Amino acid sequence: MMFPHTRAKHDILTEYLKPWFYIIQSRREYVQYMDAFAGAGRYERGEDGSPLIAMEVYNNHILKKSMTLDVRFLFIELNEKSIDLLKSRTPPDMLGKNVTFFKGSFSEAMESLYNENDPMSQRMCNTFAFIDPYGHSGMPMGQVRRIIESEKCDVMITLMTDSINRNAFASEKNQAQGVGLDELYGSDVWKEVLSAGIGKMPKRIDRFVDIYIEEAMKYVPKDRRYSLQFKMKKKNGHEAYRLVFLTKHLKGLECMKESMLKVDPTGGYTYYDASHGTCKIIDLEESKRLRDVIAANQIYEFMKGRTCTGMDLDELFLIGTGFTYRASMLSILESDGRIVVSSNGKRRAKGTYPDSCKIRFV
């Protein structure tokens, strides 16, 4: 059975790929969607899995006709039966043209992708990699780093926080339980959570995730390290896993933020299985107002005492808040006096913040 949080994960993937396919192919270079733990393409009750979802988004893209470049799909899957099923479910017009199937492990595929003498090499440019294992094994830190350190490559990882936490706990009694974590983190750096005595949830899980992101981005220049996290919670309220997105580009960050905000418009970056089926119909106007108020408070805290121009707003909201910029967010601050706007004597319509205006956060 497919859990509601799996649907939420697929929704995030879908909403990200819609703009990504279009933006990335306009670079007129090789473009690749890589599903590193691809699965069989379909769930028990007939729901599509991530590879079919990705191909569907591409094939039915509203701007497909204006795309000048074919997107390539690379599906990596260890299980022979699953990969055969996935092949049989792939649209026939894409077989042998856009799609490559790799039967083997993620690590084996990575060795081929980064081996100059292998026909698979040279593909790792303009790649969006989705790493979606069941547990936390089979995705060594060294291989994940290779992707995120490659130019124009972004990665979304299902980080199984529940199993990480359980194994870390068990390792205190039986060291062998920690071996898988050493591989996941690239060293025993995760033990810091144990030695710091962070016993309480969710702080403990947060730290496991933060350490993972720090390690994965360790060799990326500091000013290009961007990440987002989205919590998937089970019916009992416990976290099942966290979707972690790593990018070096503000545009990538913006696209993923928008897609995660579609699944949780409050900016809490969380999905609860418990709300599935009992979810109230969201009052769109009310949820937009709520979003604006939260974003206004976040940008105010981030900018307090500083000044910027209208031109800086997109970037400042991306980096300093859980949202993307909208003028309605700033108008809240203007009406309650938390910002002072000067437009160098030029006329400015109420609630607008042109590039040239100066905004002081008081």
Ligand X SMILES: C[S@@+](CC[C@H](N)C(=O)[O-])C[C@H]1O[C@@H](n2cnc3c(N)ncnc32)[C@H](O)[C@@H]1O
C-alpha to C-alpha distance for 28 and 113, rounded to whole angstroms: 21
Candidate list 24, 76, 160, 303; residue touching ligand X; CB under 6 A: 76
Candidate list 16, 34, 49, 244; residue touching ligand X; CB under 6 A: 49
Closer by beta carbon to ligand X, 87 or else 207? 87
Q: Contacts with ligand X: how many residues (CB under 6 A)?
A: 17
CB of 48 to ligand X, least distance (A): 8
CB of 39 to ligand X, least distance (A): 3
Residue 169 contacts ligand X per CB under 6 A: no
Strands 31-35 and 127-131: parallel
Residue 133 contacts ligand X per CB under 6 A: yes
Closer by beta carbon to ligand X, 40 or else 299? 40
- What amino acid occupies position 320? G
Residue 252, both tokens: 């990538």
Candidate list 39, 186, 310, 322; residue touching ligand X; CB under 6 A: 39
Q: What is the dihedral of CA 308, 312, 314, 319, to 10 degrees?
A: -70
Of 24, 325, 41, nearest in space to 154 by CA: 24
CB distance 157 to 139 below 8 Å = yes
The alpha helices in the chain, defined as continuous H runs, are 4-25, 50-59, 80-89, 106-113, 141-149, 161-171, 179-185, 192-195, 203-216, 250-263, 284-303, 313-320, 327-335
Distance (Å) of CA 129 to CA 10, 246, 250: 14, 10, 17
Site for ligand X, residues 231 to 270, rule: CB under 6 A? none
Closer by beta carbon to ligand X, 162 or else 254? 162
CB distance 225 to 247 below 8 Å = no
Residue 21 contacts ligand X per CB under 6 A: no
Residue 100 contacts ligand X per CB under 6 A: no
CB of 38 to ligand X, least distance (A): 6
Closer by beta carbon to ligand X, 166 or else 304? 166
Residue 82 contacts ligand X per CB under 6 A: yes
Closer by beta carbon to ligand X, 39 or else 252? 39
Stretch that binds ligand X, among 37-45, 177-185, 323-331, 333-341 (CB under 6 A): 37-45
CB distance 71 to 99 below 8 Å = no
Q: Which parts of this chain interact with ligand X (CB under 6 A)?
A: 35, 37-39, 49-50, 76-79, 82, 105-106, 132-134, 138
